Amino acid sequence: METRQDRYEGAREKKLRQLKEIIGESDNIVFLGGAGVSTESGIPDFRSGDGIYNQDSGLSYRPVDIISHSFFVAHPEEFYDFYKRKLCYPDARPNKAHKALYRLEKQGRLKAIITQNIDNLHQMAGSEVTIELHGSVHRNYCMSCKEPYTLEFVLASEGIPYCPKCGGMIRPDVVLYEEHLDHRNIDSAIAFIEKADLLIIGGTSLTVYPAATFAQFLPHDRVVIINKSSTYLDLQAMLTIHDSIGEVLDAVIPKRMRRSDQTAGSSGRAKSGRRTAGAALPEKSSDPKE
């Protein structure tokens, strides 16, 4: 007798086969990802039941207020207390989703990753064309002399990190509330999407702007959604899969490349080189990480 589990597994396998075919037919893929890509590496998201917004900040302020520009300026010590505990995960490592996307890039099919995350995990996995809309905790700089500093330096500093060269306060190169995204990153993301023959959106509920609107720049309707919860684009997408993004991408992107893919991948990298875009000073409705 067929059970509900059998029907679920059958539908899941059918969707995985569809996704594999769609990817195989595409040569100019762009991936747009959010916090759900990194939760499988042990980094919490913001809005779920266990997300950062629903956790105790350990301070007399709400998490959503702490990660704002005005709070950073007025209360830098409390900001860094929260920031180091809740937003920095130096031991996190790439998961199946990051690694599968790197394989797809090596095959020459994936042209760019647009991420709302600030954890650097796509680069750790080897991805070369990564647009970081909300910056990265791994980049920090002195607000006075602009000297760059590593995440390790910030975490090792007691309280507020100060620049040893000039004494200025160091800040992370991440987008806080009340700050604008770097227009160069937005322009670059839109340019890649306008040329894409497939947009894969994964690990995001598409509630943070402007990334939530990026699909409108596609000249067609070839959009795939992979997310555990629903999004406003689910019914418009050519394929929607409500499942673990790591498990899905790992299942549909081959571990080994065909010879033709190896040739295409080498050609693509020779043309593009290493291109990692980082956010400068951060849009009013932006979020450090979805």
CA 62 to chain centre: 24
User: Is 75 an annotated catalytic residue?
Assistant: no
CB atoms under 10 Å from CB of 147, counted, come to 15
- Tokens representing 166? 């000039």
Decide if 190 contacts 217 (C-beta within 8 A): yes
Biggest CA-to-CA distance, the chain: 74
Decide if 53 contacts 63 (C-beta within 8 A): yes
CA 110/CA 208 separation, integer angstroms? 23
CA end-to-end distance (rounded Å), the chain: 42
Distances (CA, A) of 219 to 113, 126, 133, 184, 238: 18, 29, 22, 21, 14
Q: Is the dihedral of CA 118, 122, 124, 128 positive or negative?
A: negative
Residue 135 bridge partners (DSSP): 174
Decide if 179 contacts 69 (C-beta within 8 A): yes
Q: Which of these is catalytic: 134, 138, 183, 220?
A: 134
**Which amino acids are annotated catalytic?**
134
